[in-house]
Amino acid sequence: MAVAHVEEAETNERDDNFKPVFKYYKMKKPKPSLKDVLDFDNECNIEEWEKIHLCGSDNISYLGFQSSNWVAWKNQSIPGLIFINNPFTSIGQSEWITRCIQDFPEKPNKTNLDAHYAVPSMIYKTELFRKLRWATLGYHHDWDTKVYIKESYTPIPKIMDDLTKVIISAIEYKSSYQAEAAIVNYYHLDSTLAAHIDHSEYDKKAPLISISFGQPAIFLLGGTTKKIKPIGIFLRSGDILITQDDCRQAYHAVPKVFYNKETSIRYQELGAYSKEYLEDSRINMNIRQVCEPGKGFPD
Ligand SMILES: O=C(O)CCC(=O)C(=O)O
Ligand SMILES: [Fe+2]
């Protein structure tokens, strides 16, 4: 919490060019215009972006990928940001969604509910599931102190580790990389995520892999201070956003989750609970390396 206070104090209201954009896209009435939002699917507002092709490894269909050739985008003026257009099949997405709903919130992983409830297993079948906001895996992020603790660890599932390896190899990241922590965020149509920088990791440059599922959202990406006006980017189900190097230290937020009636129709393969949940929800699964390679936790 102390960290958040310092950040707030750094940018007073007058200089804050992030908040007005956040409030604008969050607005319900009148509905904001979406004409300036970057849309990689429909190739709108992306004149300054370069289309690139990334290669996934061989034999990766078990991870839900549709092929090994992925369309991605980068921008010279935003070093470190890579957007990958949904490379998953709809069955592949359904499998990841099912993991996010049925597996990842289960113990020994941690969730926001642990502090308030005796959380039953198969929580997705209970009323409590609507109150789920996050689940953490690997080194658990402590939301109050904003530090990772070496002893607070549950293993990263192999399938998530495999997915990470394929993405890290596709972006040709040169250093070694280990998926050490994951946060799964659960949003409903009225949920937002306030502007923040992810600086709890000791390695502040390594790629952060962020994958969206379910209902679409607007993601805001600003700069290292809130003085910098953010850009809005549409994130749809299956899209992968990677932030590394300087971009890792940029403010970002989610001001809006949309309702799109086609979202749940697309996942015929989902079980009944997941399908109903996804009707008005968005899931974001993000994977991080916590420590600098070969260094471990500082004393
Ligand atoms: O939901 C998203 O797209 C972003 C999540 C995020 O920024 C975070 O978990 O730190
Ligand atoms: Fe973040």
DSSP 123: G
Q: Enumerate residues 6+ apart whose C-beta is below 8 A from 127.
A: none
d(CA 81, CA 46): 14
CA 237 vs. chain centroid, Å, equals 11
Q: How far apart are CA 38 and CA 234, in angstroms?
A: 6
Tokens read off for 271: 């079980």
Q: CA–CA separation, 117 vs 95, rounded Å?
A: 28
Nearest atom in ligand 1 to the alpha carbon of residue 219 is: 3
**Does the annotation flag 116 for ligand binding?**
no
Q: Annotated binding residue at 246?
A: no
CATH topology assigned to domain 2-288: Jelly Rolls (2.60.120)
**Ligand 1 touching residue 287 (CB < 6 A):** no
Residue 191, ligand 1, Cβ within 6 A:
no
Contact 162, 63 (CB under 8 A): yes
Q: CA-CA distance, 245 to 206, in Å (whole number)?
A: 6
Closest residue by Cα to residue 154 from 166, 141, 138:
138
Cα separation, 273 vs 156, whole angstroms: 24
ipTM confidence score: 0.99
In this structure, which amino acid lies at residue 182?
Answer: A
Q: Count how many Cα atoms sit within 13 Å of the Cα of residue 136 in the half-sphere of its side chain.
A: 18
- Mutate-to-test residue for ligand 1 from 212, 252, 290, highest number of ligand atoms within 8 A of CB: 252
Measured in angstroms, how far is the CA atom of residue 217 from the centroid of ligand 1? 11
The pLDDT, as a whole number, for residue 5 is 46
d(CA 161, ligand 2 centre) in Å: 20
Hey, is 132 helix, strand or coil? coil
What's the 47 CA to ligand 1 centre distance in angstroms? 25
One-letter amino acid of 120 = P
| Residue whose tokens read 């790629």 | 207
Our answer on whether the CB atom of 254 is closer than 6 Å to any ligand 1 atom is yes
Q: How far apart are CA 267 and CA 91, in angstroms?
A: 7
The pLDDT score that the predictor gives to residue 9 is 53
Task: Look at residues 205, 184, 210 and name the one whose alpha carbon lies nearest to residue 105.
Answer: 184
Q: Is the CB of 123 under 6 A from ligand 1?
A: no
Q: From first to last of the 299 residues of the chain, give the pLDDT tens digit.
A: 334 444 555 567 889 999 999 999 999 999 999 999 999 999 999 999 999 999 999 999 999 999 989 999 999 999 999 999 999 999 999 999 999 999 999 999 999 999 999 999 999 999 999 999 999 999 998 888 889 989 999 999 999 999 999 999 999 999 999 999 999 999 999 999 999 999 999 999 999 999 999 999 999 999 999 999 999 999 999 999 999 999 999 999 999 999 998 876 778 789 999 999 999 999 999 999 999 998 989 88
Peptide bond into 30 cis (omega under 30): yes
252 lines ligand 1 (CB under 6 A): yes
Compute the distance from residue 252 Cα to the ligand 2 centre, in Å.
6
Q: How far is the CA of 198 from the centre of ligand 2 (A)?
A: 5
User: Is the C-alpha dihedral spanning 103, 108, 112, 114 positive or negative?
Assistant: positive
Which listed ligand is nearest to 248 at the C-alpha? 2
Q: Is 141 annotated as a binding residue?
A: no
Question: Ligand 1 pocket, 164 CB below 6 A?
Answer: no
Decide: pTM greater than 0.90.
yes
Q: DSSP labels for 80-93?
A: TEEEE---B-HHHH
CA of 118 to the centre of ligand 1 (A): 26
Is residue 108 reached through a cis peptide bond, with omega within 30 degrees of 0 on the bond before it? yes
Domain boundaries, the chain: 2-288
Residue 261's pLDDT is: 85
